Every structure is written in C-alpha cells, then in structure tokens.
Structure 1
C-alpha cells in the first residue's frame, strides 16, 4: 500500500524522497567527539621567544635576573626624610625582564574604598585604599594568583591610580623577594668597653679642686661608693691619711655648709 505522499509524488511525476528519521538527525555523542587539541602542542619557539617553561620557573628566572633594587630615591618633606624605591623604578626594572621571560602581569580585580580627609594644614584630600587581585601568566599560559593592597592620598582624581601603582610595586617587590642590598644596620657592631675605674687619688684631687660644684661632689661620692673606694685611705690636703668618703663629706661640708 502506498502512502499519501507516495501517491502525490507519482501524480506529480517526481520520485518520492523518504523523510530522514530522527536518528539520522542525531549528532554524535559528545563523549565520542575528538578530544580538544592543545594549541601549544606543536608550537616551536622563534628566535626571540622565551623558553616554554611553567610559570613558577619563569618567575624564578625573572627574580634571578632582577637580583636587587636599591632605595635610590629620597623623600624630604614635612620634617621627614627617608629613602625608598619608587613605582617607576620598580616597574622599569621588572618590565623588560618579564618581557624576556614571557611573563605577563594582569590586574583581574580591584576593590577600592574611599575616605575624605584633611592634611595638617587643612587641605582637603581623598584617601583611596585598594585590594588588587593579580594574575601572573607564564609563557605556557599557566598562572599564579596573588593579592596586594595599596593606599594613596590625592587632592584631585588620581588617588585610585596612585593606590593601584603602590599595589603593583608591593606585588613586584614582595612577590619577587627583591632585596635592596643596602647595608644592614644590625651588622654595625660597636665594641663597647668598660670605662677604667678611676684611682682614689684622682677622686681626691677632684674633690679638693675649688671649682668642683656641689652636684659634682654628690656624684663623686656616689661613684666612690659604687666602686668600693669609700674606705680607701688617701693623703689629704694637710698630709694626713683619711678615708676617701670621709674626705669628700668633710670638704663638701666645709665648702657648701651641708656636706656632699
């Protein structure tokens, strides 16, 4: 038995074409599709291209080449003076090196907070604090994720840009563990020797000196006792032997009317 479609096709003088079934329109199962091809699989670096190493090795090579950045800039204002490493200096140092090793640094998220404030002179300022999420991408496309913060003050519209620049400097210096190679102040060692103990005779001579003040006589008396010289006998101004502490007390009493 022919179908209505077959009879209509025969009456029109054309062959009947069978309609494809639903199965014939079904796409191949996803699991049966060919696996995705790695775009870097057949990549061959050119003469100037970086080595195709993982991102952590590429970043290590950047650190090895940068070595150190000295605090070569100085701030001197408002009664404060200190040396520092500026944003431009740090970026100018890292920029060409990261380029050579195929390392890219991208800010992927910036969270900013603002606060109005004033300087000590009453000038209005805008404070901006940012938290920046960074993505360090290596030559093979793998990544490292880091986060830093920056803070800046500005009287116009540059606070956000300044704060992000500070956050970038912090990323490069801390993520690169970049030393200054400045001399460590803790390495300066001063050999501190003990002052030699004065002789009883030198204390006697100072006590007998007419220009010695009352306060100094009190101090001499304390030093003599501290060094255990109070009972040591010395020859006084009339040629007799007298305990040093007794001489000091007597001379002070005679000179100042109350003793040393």
Structure 2
C-alpha cells in the first residue's frame, strides 16, 4: 500500500497548536469600535507553526474585480474583490490541498487590492485551521444596521429613535471640522459608535460640536494674529 499523503497530518498539527493558543481580537476599528483579528496577528501566529510542521501556504489570485465608488462626502473609493486559491503543501512529500476563498476591501488610495488579498488569506487560514478566538466569530464582529420593515413588509422605514442618514452625515462632518476625537465623542455619549447616537441627543450634540468648532476657529485666528505680530517691521521688504 502506498504511504498516505502527509499534507493532512501537517494541517492537523498546525490546527492542534492553534487550538491551544488561538488568535484573540486585539485590533479595534476606531470608527465603529469593534474588535477584530488583523492580518499581522494571523501572520505572527501562523509563521512559526508552518515552519515547525513543514507546511507551505502558496497563494494564487484567480480573478480580480475593481469598481470605483463614491463615499457620502463625495470622495472616490475603490472597491476590489479577489478570488484566490491557496495551495497547502507538505514539504515532506509535496502532497497538497487547495483552498479557494474570496477577499473584498475598499480604500481611498492604492491599497484596496492589497487589503482584499490579505482578507482572502486571513479567512482561508481561519477556515482551514479552525482558529479559535476569545469572543464570537468574525461575522459577528461587524454590526450591520438593517432598516426595520413597515408593518406590511413593503420596505425599510426609519427608526425615529436613531439618527437618519442626513443627521449622521451632519454629525460626522462637524466632528471632523471641529477636530474632535471620535472615541472621546462616543465615550461622552456612552455609545459604541457615532451612528448609535440617539436622535433625542442630536440637537445637543450639534450645539456642542459647533461650539468646539468656534473655539477651534478662534484659536486659529489668535495664532495667526500672534504670528503676524511677531514679524519685525524691518523685515518687511517695502
């Protein structure tokens, strides 16, 4: 009888060690404030184990799709989806098993493809090695706000207790203009993310942000006046 391929033993060996340590969600999305496992954490955990058990993971991009979209502020965004295959190869005998997965990402610059490929690798590793974590799985890490249906099921209706799209965009613009830290804003109102601000607090939040914006503008004017006052008249070339 021929000897059994060693690829599955290598995968099982890596999986066994990861079952003991796992990869915790130490990274945090600063805007929506949810925890996740970044690609660096996956590389750091996997690299020594792959070397130890003679397992190679070789990527191959099958397909790439790129679309240009526009953010709420009108900025261009690049949305990339990749189809990737990863050959898990045992160095002991060259036997392999191929895993196909997908990755998608958005970016304002030239990093969308890189992010999409990283996502494809990360989830291929999660599924192949069944990597445990301290909390829920990654699908639960991102909160998707689905608008509630009306009583007849004819489509979404707005929750009157939450901000509508225009109010949310207004708040986010003021936060950016006033130079307010998003995390500090959320802590002040005891919310997980800006989009969870209750509509009852919208007016108060807008007034406070406008006040902070005025303070920022006044500080900038004062700094400018002080800068001009420091100019020696003898230095002016006229």
TM-score interval, normalised by the smaller of the two chains: 0.5 to 0.7
Task: Report Cα offsets for 1:197-221 as digits up to 9, x if no partner.
Answer: xxxxxxxxxxxxxxxxxxxxxxxxx
CA contact (8 A) 2:81 2:116 kept: yes
Q: Match of 1:171?
A: 124
Deviation (angstroms), 1:108: 2.6
Task: Report Cα offsets for 1:234-255 as digits up to 9, x if no partner.
Answer: xxxxxxxxxxxxxxxxxxxxxx
Partners of 2:136 and 2:71 in 1: CA distance: 34
1:165 counterpart SS class: helix
TM-score with structure 2 setting the length: 0.52
1:151 counterpart SS class: strand
Q: Match of 2:67?
A: 115
* Pairwise CA RMSD: 2.1
Q: Match of 1:240?
A: none
Is residue 147 from structure 1 mapped to residue 115 from structure 2 by the alignment? Answer: no
Of structures 1 and 2, the one scoring higher in RCO (CA 8 A, sep 6+) is: 2
Is residue 65 from structure 1 mapped to residue 65 from structure 2 by the alignment? Answer: no
CA contact (8 A) 2:5 2:95 kept: no
Task: Report Cα offsets for 1:35-60 as digits up to 9, x if no partner.
Answer: xxxxxxxxxxxxxxxxx970000010
The within-5 A match list for 1:127-138 is 127-138=79-90
1:69 counterpart SS class: coil
Deviation (angstroms), 1:96: 1.0
The runs of 5 or more residues in structure 2 that have no matched partner are 138-238
The runs of 5 or more residues in structure 1 that have no matched partner are 1-51, 185-260
2:36 to 78, 84, 99: 84
1:156 to 100, 103, 109: 109
> Paired residues, what number?
132
TM-score with structure 1 setting the length: 0.48
Deviation (angstroms), 1:124: 0.4
Deviation (angstroms), 1:156: 2.1
2:85 counterpart SS class: strand
Please say which structure displays the higher CA radius of gyration: 1
CA contact (8 A) 2:63 2:82 kept: yes
C-alpha change, 1:183 and 1:86, in structure 2 (3 Å) is closer
Q: Which has the higher helix share?
A: 2
